[in-house]
Chains A and B, each alone.
Chain A
Amino acid sequence: MSNRQVAMVIDLNKCIGCQTCTVACKTSWTSGEGQEGMWWNQVNTAPGHGTPKDWEKMGGGFKGGEPQKGVRPAQGDFGEGFELNYKEALFEGAGNEALKPIGDEPQWGTNWDEDVGAGDYPNSYFFYIPRICNHCTKPACMEACPRGAISKREEDGIVVIDEDHCRGLRFCQSACPYKEIYYNHVTGHAQKCVFCLPRIEQGVATACSRQCPGRVRFLGFLEDEDGPIHKLVNVHKVALGLHPEYETEPNVFYIPPLSPEKFDDEGNPTGEDRIPLEYLESLFGPEVGPALERIKQGRADKQAGKGSDLMDTLISKNFLDLFGPFTNHPREIERIATELEREPVIVPPSIEIAYRGPGGSSQ
């Protein structure tokens, strides 16, 4: 059990599906060998098959507290990594080459069914749902590892895999109901989102949060009563965990999506929600209806000029208000490390750094 829990709230009403978070994560964490098809952050289109393909049918997690059977996803279920023919298409092809994957035709990928969604025109619908490891309060992955290689950090509740102890047995992959663990076939280890712990430790928001142009991701400690997470989850009760029935108590929460209205045959709005409530309940549980009502109420209050703390929090006019205690600039990481260690950071001479020592001098 951890003393404090870092958590994230993702506002699905603001996510534009740009995948900037996905790329921020990829370049930060999974550009190594054996990580080609690894995306610790995924932005899925819902309804859809998700990442890995049809992960919601793969089992794992608990039921009535009992561990459940689960499928171990193969790399093919996530999709293999592939490169595009940038050189030929963009630089040397004189405009005759189309941009396409090199090598075998890819069969699946992290956002393969992007924007497909469900429903019939003009009442089709979809929304984006970014996903990472949920750093669960009851991590099924941790319980499943016979080596004790997975732990939940006491200081912040981040769930980490110790690669010195991981032997690639992959029981965790079957047990995690969110299928957020990958296997690196080069190193022979299970790997997953680390909640950017080296950034978090230095008060810097996760890369996916900080880079998000939609300002979709709130961060903070669940217990911090002044922070946005506590407000959205516990006070306004508008942020819900994905698939609470998996019983791992995820610490990534979602503001459920409001719907556009349906159109009738004449093209007139009917007042009905296009995204079926039953579908949202299948994702977020029975609390989603009341949560949506509270969001609508907040919006109505704001429109009526009455003001709404909920809307102000969700809009978060000040960018840094999104991040609770994690407001340090990523550029500051080096400086903080330097001050702590009282030693200059060693960087290749070709890289210019702005080094501000304790005395305030810069070089």
Chain B
Amino acid sequence: MRSEKISAIADYAATTAAGWQQIAAETVEMVPAPVEMQPNGFIQANWRDRPYGQLASLEAQSVHDGTTLAVRLRWASEKPETGGREGFPDGAAIAFPIKGEPVLWTMGTEDEPVQFIQWQAMKNKIRSVVAWGIGSSVPGSPVSESVTAGWSQGYWTIVMLRTLAGGPEAATLEPGTDTRIGFAVWNGSNEERAGIKAVSVDWSPLTIEA
């Protein structure tokens, strides 16, 4: 997909902003994160015969204004789940390779970490985490991020914003270059959390327009 250069990111911060209608949307195929890749036998035992990550696809769009990048995601969700007192919230994440060519599904390696920007329905913020492999994610260095989200008529739509500038724990995104982006979605009403999620089959190429 392409991140189109636009003049002011503020015009795209809202999920319903008119500008998004002009931006090409890419359909990303999603699959359940394989049960064999869950980090231990207990999680595997509990989810081997239980459906999860059933979302077939999501729609992704992106724009940037030279300083800040926006990614808009839209996916089907029967009802919005915030988790309440004891449940688990709906969620979504985008991933960028920080360095090298890490495998998305194994969430990076020690030498090739991956940055995730994660949104959860009960919170009004997103957080950036850095992972050096499954189960190793820790909060990354703060990059300026924000999110808007809304559920309507069977769909979640969210817009995540992050600065193009990165660092050792956040991917640096440069206009005029190609990078990759990955996706994950959690269905809270099915108690999905951590590795129990729908993931994009692989990285999608992401061109950041000059």
Contacts and interface: CB of A to CB of B under 8 A. Distances in A.
A and B: partners?
A: yes
A169 interface: yes
B39 A146 contact: yes
Contacts of A68: 42, 45
A254 B195 CA distance: 38
B86 A66 contact: no
B43 A148 contact: no
Interface in A145-191: 145-148, 167, 169, 171, 174-175, 183, 185
A185 B85 contact: yes
Contacts of B85: 75, 185
A337 B1 CA distance: 62
Interface string A197-236: 0000000000000000000000000000000000000000
A75 B135 contact: no
Q: Determine the interface band of chain A, counting residues with CB < 8 A from chain B.
A: 20 to 34
A174 B50 CA distance: 14
A69 interface: yes
Contacts of B39: 146
B42 A70 contact: yes
A292 interface: no
Contacts of B43: 144, 146, 171
Nearest to B39: A146
A271 B203 CA distance: 74
Contact of A174 (B38, B42, B194): B42
Interface of A: 60, 66-70, 72, 74-75, 140, 143-148, 167, 169, 171, 174-175, 183, 185
30 contacts: A60-B42, A66-B41, A66-B45, A67-B42, A67-B44, A67-B45, A68-B42, A69-B46, A70-B42, A72-B191, A74-B86, A75-B85, A143-B40, A144-B40, A144-B42, A146-B38, A146-B40, A146-B135, A146-B194, A146-B195, A147-B135, A148-B135, A169-B193, A171-B43, A174-B42, A174-B46, A175-B42, A183-B86, A185-B85, A185-B86
